[in-house]
Copies of this chain bind each other. A is one copy, B any other.
């Protein structure tokens, strides 16, 4: 989408506007307005002349312009039907100096999760990467991963799915037989010791996809409530993220409010060994505090497994 199209959609967002007025507001000719209206129609927007002027009658189901239209957050969106990895594309944009860009794909052919694990990303999911440049040192970067997880939970709630967060960054739906993974977050960064240069926050949400071909213990929005409006889902996600990054001090409390890990018995595999005990808190910038038999341990990174008592013993959920 070019700047004129973006401005045109912004102008039409609040209701019908007459052609001459659009041309004046945008500082372009009426012919240029007509040309951009045609381009937006080709992109799937229904834009019709009404008595009061041009009006957006309908918005395409998904895509860059669809997500940007009516989005209350300052991100530009780039959409691809298929990409190897939205994170890789966002890293390219980072190297090119861009910021506040969202890369969106209908499917990823080489999606990956944390620590180079495979992440299945079939058509119909929400696979996106946020490129941001927060003015913080790298030590604070984990906060933005937590913020992305909170944003996914809020978007899921708006879609009618009650989700929670498993430390550090899995979004899960709780069930009688344990938690099922709905979404994951993979953050990559570059920076100096003093400041982040860029963060690429990859978010993968099993949206309108069957849970069946996904890995064990996964679920999807389709499985939980049926297919959702991905455009609205991404907009809510981006708006929630925007709210949180504008107020970083609020992120930890927001995370705690949705955490399913706190209060649970956990087993965390860290680079320094296994830590087992009760997860009692999360501290800045995103470390898990575990009450073990030997006292409290603070864990900065690792794989976290929730344990639960089974017949008086601990067993894996």
Residues of A whose CB lies within 8 Å of any CB of B are 114-115, 135-142, 145, 168-169, 186-195, 271, 285-287, 300-302
| Chain B residues near A138 (CB-CB < 8 A) | 138-139, 141, 189
Give which listed residue, B142, B168, B169, B191, contacts A188 with CB less than 8 A: B191
Give which listed residue, B140, B285, B287, B301, contacts A194 with CB less than 8 A: B301
- Min CB gap A141→B, angstroms: 6
- Min CB gap A314→B, angstroms: 25
| Chain B residues near A186 (CB-CB < 8 A) | 192-193
| Chain B residues near A114 (CB-CB < 8 A) | 192-194
| Chain B residues near A193 (CB-CB < 8 A) | 114, 141-142, 145, 168-169, 186-189, 286, 301
Within the assembled complex, what's the spacing in Å between the Cα atoms of A205 and B190?
Answer: 25
Within the assembled complex, what's the spacing in Å between the Cα atoms of A215 and B152?
Answer: 49
| Chain B residues near A142 (CB-CB < 8 A) | 139, 193
| Chain B residues near A140 (CB-CB < 8 A) | 300
* CB pair A271 B136 closer than 8 Å: yes
Give which listed residue, B190, B271, B286, contacts A135 with CB less than 8 A: B271
Closest 8 pairs between A and B when the two form their complex, measured CB to CB: A137-B301, A187-B193, A194-B301, A190-B190, A138-B138, A145-B193, A139-B139, A137-B300
Within the assembled complex, what's the spacing in Å between the Cα atoms of A168 and B271?
Answer: 26
| Chain B residues near A137 (CB-CB < 8 A) | 271, 300-301
- Min CB gap A168→B, angstroms: 7
- Ordered by A's residue number, 27 sampled pairs between the chains whose C-beta atoms are within 8 Å are A114-B192, A114-B193, A115-B192, A115-B194, A115-B195, A135-B271, A136-B271, A137-B271, A137-B300, A137-B301, A140-B300, A142-B193, A145-B193, A168-B193, A169-B193, A186-B192, A186-B193, A187-B192, A188-B191, A188-B192, A188-B193, A189-B192, A189-B193, A190-B190, A193-B301, A194-B302, A195-B301
| Chain B residues near A191 (CB-CB < 8 A) | 188-189
| Chain B residues near A190 (CB-CB < 8 A) | 188-190
Within the assembled complex, what's the spacing in Å between the Cα atoms of A241 and B169?
Answer: 34
- Candidate in A142, A189, A286 with the most chain B CB atoms within 10 angstroms: A189
